[in-house]
Amino acid sequence: MKPYKLAIVGATGVVGRCVLHILEEKNLPNLEYVLFASHRSAGQTLSFMGKEYVVQELNENSFDEGFDFAIFSAGGDTAKKFAPIASAKGCIVVDNSSAFRMEKEVPLIVPEVNSEEIANHKGIISNPNCSTIQAVVALKPLDEKYHLKRIIYSTYQAVSGAGSKGLSDLEEGITSFVTKKEYSLQKFPYPIFNNCLPHIDVFLENGYTKEEEKMINETRKILKRPDLKITATAVRVPVFNSHSEAITVEFEKDFHLEELVEVLKHSPGIIVQDDFQHAIYPLASTSTGYDEVFCGRIRRDESVASGVNLWVVADNIRKGAASNAVQIVEKLIALDQDRTR
């Protein structure tokens, strides 16, 4: 069998490093890797799969050497510039940025939810926004069974989702609280330490943030429910890793709570942690390091005829980005092997 060649673009970033970690864990057979980042870290070495890899600067010629796949985790501008170059040279790009997510011909994939759409790609596949991924893993089986009518998202998002500068703002804030030394913010408009910032990504004319708009539009696209009523409030909280979400949904059909919990328990990628009498529910700290989406606090919304409240927590860097992208590459490899068998 021929080896597949995989480019990791943004290998030095928070998501890129997690991609490397997951690839080491999975140790997929027959893969060769090349690691790319910007000129800032070109020449740096990273230990990966028991070897030292020299990080290469990404440029227009990087994809000349014939790659099968690339996982991009280097932001929207880099993706817009280099993903079309890569795909024109026959490399299938799985992009973690929002650059192509809403383009009609670009599949927006969460493997547990809509892996059948991977085969429709035209060279670029988008990984959804981290907050959307964990939400749709939980909502898809409920939509199939009870038909979603309306969703209200309230997110509590970790700083790792804002990359290394976001992590640094929280670390520096904690240090400054202890040492009383001044520090400069690198990412957020206000200190994230000891604060909740209802401001993720830029503000739009209607007063929503782009993060909130992404959750709304991406959920509709992934669930193939273009008219689904959705509203969202996205909040950055002083948590290092794993996003938590309070999700309130209304259904067209009625449901029995015990049955709904069973549906979640038997759906792919979900772990139910729900025992309020013993204070068991998902936590950011205990979800970190896992690829599953954790659901708890499952209770009827008593203010509507048929609705439920959920508390949904997942590792935003793993399932929300890196492992979702690696899962897509695994599916692409399986498709290629089926085709050439």
Active site residues: 130, 243
> Apex CA 294: angle with CA 292 and CA 297, to 5°?
170
Helix residue ranges, H only, 40-124: 75-88, 111-114
Q: Is residue 320 a contact residue for ligand A2P (CB under 6 A)? A: no
The stretch near ligand A2P (CB under 6 A) out of 6-14, 123-131, 270-278, 306-314 is 6-14
**From the list 4, 6, 7, 13, which residue makes contact with ligand A2P (rule: CB under 6 A)?**
13
Instruction: Select the residue whose beta carbon is closest to ligand A2P and give its number.
Output: 13
Q: Is residue 99 a contact residue for ligand A2P (CB under 6 A)? A: no
Query: What residue has token string 């964990």?
Result: 134
Q: Is residue 296 a contact residue for ligand A2P (CB under 6 A)? A: no
**From the list 8, 10, 100, 137, which residue makes contact with ligand A2P (rule: CB under 6 A)?**
10
Q: Which is nearer to ligand A2P, 16 or 107 (CB)?
A: 16
Strands 4-9, 229-236: parallel, antiparallel or unpaired by DSSP?
unpaired
Tell me the one-letter amino acid at 251: F
Q: Which of residues 41-70 bind ligand A2P (CB under 6 A)?
A: 41, 58
- For residue 94, the minimal CB distance to ligand A2P (Å) is 15
Cα–Cα distance, 297 to 51 (Å, whole number): 44
Q: Which is nearer to ligand A2P, 34 or 37 (CB)?
A: 37
**From the list 6, 16, 68, 70, which residue makes contact with ligand A2P (rule: CB under 6 A)?**
16
The continuous run of DSSP H or E covering 14 comes out as helix 14-26
**From the list 33, 56, 68, 78, which residue makes contact with ligand A2P (rule: CB under 6 A)?**
78
Query: What residue has token string 């068991």?
Result: 280
- For residue 296, the minimal CB distance to ligand A2P (Å) is 29
Q: Which is nearer to ligand A2P, 84 or 150 (CB)?
A: 84
What are the CB-based long-range contacts (under 8 Å, 24+) for 24-28? 24/48, 24/49, 26/326, 26/330, 28/330, 28/333
Is the Cα torsion angle 21, 17, 324, 153 positive or negative in sign? Answer: positive
**From the list 6, 7, 12, 318, which residue makes contact with ligand A2P (rule: CB under 6 A)?**
12
Q: Which is nearer to ligand A2P, 10 or 111 (CB)?
A: 10
- What 8-state DSSP symbol labels residue 321? I
Strands 293-300, 307-314: parallel, antiparallel or unpaired by DSSP?
antiparallel
Q: Give the other-Cβ count within 10 Å of 81's Cβ.
A: 13
Closest to 317 (Cα-Cα) out of 170, 146, 160: 160
Q: Which of residues 127-186 bind ligand A2P (CB under 6 A)?
A: 163-164
Q: Is residue 37 a contact residue for ligand A2P (CB under 6 A)? A: yes
Sites of contact with ligand A2P (CB under 6 A): 9-14, 16, 36-38, 40-41, 58, 74-75, 78, 163-164
